[in-house]
Structure 1
Amino acid sequence: MNKTELKQMLINEVENNKDELIELCSSLIQIPSENPPGDSTEISNFVADYLKKYDLGVEWHESSDKMYNLVSSIGDEDGKHLIYCGHTDVVPAGDLKKWDFDPFSGEVKDGWMLGRGASDMKAGLTGLIFAFSLLKRLNVQLPGKLSLAIVPDEETGGDFGVPWLLENGIIEGDGCLIAEPSSPLNPTIGQKGSYWFELEVFGEPGHGSLSPLAGKNAISDAVKAIHEIEKLWELEIEVPDEIKPLIEVSQRYMREVEKDRVKFQPVLEHVTVNVGTIEGGTKSNVIPESCKVQVDCRLPFGISEEEVTSFIEEKLNALNIDYTIRAFGFRSTANYTDAQDPVCKAITDNISFVTGKESYGVMQWASSDARHFRDYNIPVLQYGPAYLPSIHGYNEKVKVEQIVTCAKVYIAAVVDFLYTK
């Protein structure tokens, strides 16, 4: 059996067993694994028990209280090594009254899988687990190693999932596929950087009836500072030449595929600025002596966190205000994997093989665990089933057909990646 015949056989097996695939996805959605609080005990036990049914050994790694990383491997240790990666945590369901259905029902209705995590990313995680177990059940003799890494702590940007596994040398490989939500034909192979910071502005308290002649109003100064910080968007940034093809194809994607995103094309080349929270003052009749503002900036290729900080400081120093800046949360530089890397080719080629349609990698304007793999020189991309408008919102859902398609791509990509030297 040649590679093409093997891939087609595996794709047929996914199709023949798709009812089990969908049932597994429903079961995962029915397990609340909201983060916060981040307790992955129940869902980790379920996944481990499922794998053990097919004689797949599972390593447990508790990185923090009730946060479990599961790792399982099959194949030849001496060959190439591909990592399947997915997270078990989901964002909180929020106000249940705003859902049209039980967010933890895992119900299938009118061709849609319903529930919290359906798109982000229990459908993708299901596809990885199912493809991994199917290779074992079919006794496919892989000429390389395939590892399944299931992590607990992605949605809060925490350190107890992928970063913890990499830092402790528990996983390493020649390529990685993360089943994060993506467009059906366009995996994400690059990401903007992230820079979250808190600006604290200091004033002098006084009686509100004497403002602005008395005291120094920290909130007023913070408003002036925000106005200057928002000028980051106006910066002209020189994108490195090697990145320009990725920017261009990503903008093409926004014009031709996700057409509702046409207006967002500029975000790929600009620093975005979101003033997310502001807190200051004690009472309306007291001049506030402090004000805290939290800002989320996403950085394109061509600019660093240090350069952004320098720009902000130059602008704020000119205001003659008293302030400090403290970085927190998501922090990374823009990063990508070359479209011609074997792991990217394995996915895009097999999206085309399964669907008969053109596939190409694009850039993501947000961040994920992919950046951590790239920090360890592991080529990585993201591809998973999703209804993108529903992610992190009410009434999250994904098309059942897409769950099946992605699982077929996952299992076929293993063949192309591991059987190619």
Structure 2
Amino acid sequence: MLDSRIDELRNFCVKVLSDLISYPTVNPPGESYREISDYFSNILNEIGFKVDVIKVPDSLLNDPKHPRYNVIARMGNGRPVVHFNGHYDVVPAGFGWKTDPFKPFISGGLIYGRGASDMKGGIASIITAAKALADSNARLNGTLELSFTPDEETGGEAGVAYIVEKGIVNPDFAVVAEPSGINNIWIGNKGVAWLLIEVYGKQAHGSTPWRGVNAFEAMVHVADRILRELKPVVERRKSKYDYGDPEGARATIMLGGEVKGGAKVNIVPGYCSFTIDRRVLPEEMSEEAAREIEEFVNNIRIPDVELKVKRISVQDASVVDPELEIVRVAVRSAEDVIGIKPRRTVCMGGLDTRFFQKKGIQAITYGPGVQEVAHMANEYVRIDDVLSMAKIYCRMVSGLMGVELS
């Protein structure tokens, strides 16, 4: 009955996803957050949920000019509480788009637009599943709880971290609808150690470089030392977990995500900086990974150059037992819908799911989308996958709390 109702909701699902893509919720800085929060509130109220929109206190924000809003919706009552989460922020569109990234384009069963896979497609699956349950007058033996949150793309502190750590939500089970792909369940994610390396030299006129100390040349030297000496040591470390790609089982270190410095073509640069993105295996500790880089850089000596290492973010990996009840229910539900058992792997990137897992909540990441197109130009999601995932979510609700259909 629920499957047929979801099939009937195909146009509804496509419209919801198209609407979501149309909100340019670009982060940073955090645009259109209020508008999309109002959209969630209206549509979920219409479906029959009790909705709260929670504004994060300005005192907790780095940029109070761009407020943060968490939307929490509930249906039913009591335990267990089954929670579905999606982040509504997206990365900047960037270049190379064939169509306007914030005007959804539909072709060949695909919807194109920024956030289609990461992760407004997953949000559309959640809302479609919720509407199918509500339209079918489902009696829930527990509480169905939804959250739509900001700032996953910048660490999640004002989003899932805030609502979990403040006790605004405290579910028994949680599903984060990131684009793991319909054939794959992420049981966890790698950790990160993000650092900024700052190089201070002495500015001078470009025609008399001997009067200055070239921070760029010093930065190149530091980067070269890291690449030649530290990177091979780090990337020999391997994990026991399945990452869906053999290369993903390695610890990694990536330089130059952000590079800054220099003022003009004829000025010896007195300052340069670059970032380091270190991905940490579940078998490692992020604190130790960060300290390893700090000690390596601090042991480099360059005459008349000052090196500084600053931490941007340090987060441990988070992985749950692949035999947890929520994982088994997800696998069984997926097999019913798509006819195969999804793989249980670890995500190579970071996920908001870790905030649930660290609180001891049974939590996984499972949502529609194509990992390879996330953050790229011409991002898309398959409409059929969004609908199939809605069917899987309905089965998961039934499997975790029990559902009676009238």
Instruction: With the length of structure 2 as denominator, give the TM-score of the two structures.
Output: 0.88
CA distance in 1, matches of 2:203, 2:20: 53
Alignment pair present for 1:14 and 2:11:
no
Give yes or no for contact 2:237–2:251 (8 Å, CA) kept in 1: no
Q: 2:136 aligns with which of 128, 135, 138?
A: 138
User: In structure 2, what is the equivalent of residue 4 of structure 1?
Assistant: none
TM-superposed CA distance for 1:312, in Å, is 2.7
Give yes or no for contact 1:10–1:408 (8 Å, CA) kept in 2: yes
CA distance in 1, matches of 2:209, 2:103: 56
Figure out how many residues of one structure are paired with residues of the other and give that number: 390
TM-superposed CA distance for 1:158, in Å, is 4.5
Alignment pair present for 1:59 and 2:52:
yes
User: In structure 2, what is the equivalent of residue 116 of structure 1?
Assistant: 114
The 1:269/1:172 distance shift into structure 2, 3 A limit, reads same
CA distance in 2, matches of 1:314, 1:398: 43
Letter in 2 for 1:161: G
Q: 1:363 aligns with which of 337, 341, 346?
A: 346
The 1:399/1:282 distance shift into structure 2, 3 A limit, reads closer
Task: From the two aligned structures, give the one with the greater strand fraction.
Answer: 2
Give yes or no for contact 1:119–1:390 (8 Å, CA) kept in 2: yes
The 1:232/1:174 distance shift into structure 2, 3 A limit, reads farther
TM-superposed CA distance for 1:283, in Å, is 4.4
CA distance in 1, matches of 2:343, 2:114: 28
Give yes or no for contact 1:195–1:331 (8 Å, CA) kept in 2: yes
CA distance in 1, matches of 2:99, 2:253: 34
Give yes or no for contact 1:207–1:285 (8 Å, CA) kept in 2: yes
SS in 2 for 1:361: strand
TM-superposed CA distance for 1:207, in Å, is 5.5
Deviations 1:235-258 (A, max 9, x none): 268979xx72xx2x33xx33xxxx
The 1:215/1:21 distance shift into structure 2, 3 A limit, reads closer
User: In structure 1, what is the equivalent of residue 62 of structure 2?
Assistant: none
Q: 1:294 aligns with which of 246, 253, 275?
A: 275
SS in 2 for 1:224: helix
SS in 2 for 1:381: strand
The 1:238/1:280 distance shift into structure 2, 3 A limit, reads closer
Give yes or no for contact 1:29–1:104 (8 Å, CA) kept in 2: yes
SS in 1 for 2:187: strand
Dislocated runs of 4+, deviation >6 Å: 237-240
Give yes or no for contact 1:237–1:302 (8 Å, CA) kept in 2: no
User: In structure 2, what is the equivalent of residue 82 of structure 1?
Assistant: 82
User: In structure 1, what is the equivalent of residue 159 of structure 2?
Assistant: 161
The 1:378/1:114 distance shift into structure 2, 3 A limit, reads same
Gaps of 5+ in 1: 1-8, 255-264
CA distance in 1, matches of 2:352, 2:285: 19
Percent identical pairs in the alignment equals 31
Give yes or no for contact 1:11–1:408 (8 Å, CA) kept in 2: yes
TM-superposed CA distance for 1:111, in Å, is 1.1
CA distance in 2, matches of 1:279, 1:37: 19
CA distance in 2, matches of 1:137, 1:387: 29
User: In structure 2, what is the equivalent of residue 46 of structure 1?
Assistant: 39
User: In structure 2, what is the equivalent of residue 228 of structure 1?
Assistant: 225
CA distance in 2, matches of 1:287, 1:66: 40
Instruction: With the length of structure 1 as denominator, give the TM-score of the two structures.
Output: 0.85
